């Protein structure tokens, strides 16, 4: 294979991909005088000799995109896991809040029958909501309860109060006006 500039390696003369082809010839076996490579490749220095030389000086960057893609995929997985954990914590907190509200309403409904009966009703309602009753107290017809939901590492405890509606304050009247419906009401 003398005179082909390929250095005697396998493949077509002057292809420049085999290590042996990179030796020999005035331009490293790629597009030199006597090479089978002609035309544009011969004029610009062969099979990307400038790019190959730059990569050799840098130490090469082959496979760098794969490494970056792997790191990006790992980072996205971590972010996805954090978002899922946060969503589970928020959902558990809302479940505990709903259970506490319903248990307080059940206890307030039974408040006139005694604290034991009111707290038993609150406990049943909390259990039906997938929660446990942490505290229960009934004073003057107002029930105060705390419900806890356990889901994985999350144990939120939410307090709630319920009781008879209080008397709403009357709107203030200007002096000298007669009692009646507020202005603007027909």
pLDDT digits (tens, 9 = 90+) for 68-79: 999 999 999 999
Task: Report pLDDT for 151.
Answer: 87
This prediction has a pTM of 0.53
Task: Report pLDDT for 140.
Answer: 86
The answer for residues whose C-beta is within 8 angstroms of residue 174's C-beta and 6 or more apart is none
**Residue 52 placed within a domain:** no
Tell me the pLDDT of the chain averaged across its residues. 76
pLDDT band at 147 (very low <50, low <70, confident <90, very high): very high
Quote the percentage of the chain above a pLDDT of 70: 56
64-109 vs 115-128: helix axis angle to the nearest 10? 150
pLDDT tens-place string over residues 78-119: 999 999 999 999 999 999 999 999 999 999 999 889 899 999
**Residue 96 placed within a domain:** yes
pLDDT tens-place string over residues 111-121: 889 899 999 99
**Residue 129 placed within a domain:** yes
pLDDT band at 164 (very low <50, low <70, confident <90, very high): confident
24/21 Cα distance (integer angstroms): 7
Range of the domain at 154: 92-162
**Residue 68 placed within a domain:** no
| Number of domains forming the structure of the chain | 1
**Residue 156 placed within a domain:** yes
42/113 Cα distance (integer angstroms): 102
**Residue 179 placed within a domain:** no
Helix (H) or strand (E) holding 142, with range, is strand 142-148
Q: Reduced to 3 DSSP states, what percent helix, strand and coil does the chain have, rounded to the nearest 5?
A: 45, 10, 45
Among 24-28, 46-50, 107-111, the range scoring the smallest mean pLDDT is: 24-28
pLDDT tens-place string over residues 31-43: 555 545 555 554 5
């Amino acid at each position: 294979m003398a005179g082909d500039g390929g250095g005697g390696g396998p493949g077509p003369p002057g292809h420049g991909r085999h290590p042996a082809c990179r030796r020999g010839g005035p331009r490293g076996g790629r597009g030199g005088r006597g090479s089978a490579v002609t035309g544009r490749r011969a004029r610009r220095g062969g099979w990307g000799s400038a790019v190959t030389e730059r990569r050799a000086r840098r130490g090469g960057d082959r496979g760098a995109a794969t490494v970056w893609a792997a790191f990006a995929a790992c980072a996205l997985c971590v972010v996805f896991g954090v978002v899922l954990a946060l969503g589970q914590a928020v959902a558990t907190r809302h479940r505990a809040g709903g259970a506490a509200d319903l248990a307080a309403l059940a206890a307030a409904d039974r408040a006139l029958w005694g604290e034991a009966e009111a707290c038993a009703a609150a406990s049943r309602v909390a259990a039906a909501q997938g929660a446990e009753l942490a505290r229960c107290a009934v004073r003057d017809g107002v029930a105060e309860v705390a419900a806890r939901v356990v889901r994985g590492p999350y144990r939120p405890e939410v307090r709630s109060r319920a009781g008879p509606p209080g008397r709403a304050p009357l709107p203030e009247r200007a002096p000298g006006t007669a009692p009646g419906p507020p202005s603007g009401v027909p």
